[in-house]
Amino acid sequence: MDMGNFNLFMKMIQDEYRLTATQLETLAHRMLADDKEFEKVWRLYKTKNSRYSGGVDDFKHLLQELLS
């Protein structure tokens, strides 16, 4: 796992979705536990802006699943 990408991802997610410290910790533990899951989520996050359809943020739904 590229820690630069991980740190960038966490900062961007925190800024965009206004996550609490607890939510960030939960997400960080989950992403650090599985490199392949992180790479998949990171790739989806990077491409999400080009895939907005009708103003729906599909990534937000994925993020809610990751935090539950």
Residues 38-51 pLDDT 10s: 999 999 888 876 55
- Tell which wins on pLDDT, 51 or 8: 8
pLDDT of residue 55: 66
Task: Give 15-64 pLDDT, tens digit per residue.
Answer: 999 999 999 999 999 999 999 999 999 998 888 765 555 667 778 888 99
b vs e for 23-48, b when ≥16 Cβ sit within 10 Å of the residue's Cβ?
Answer: bbeebbeebeeeeeebeebbeebeee
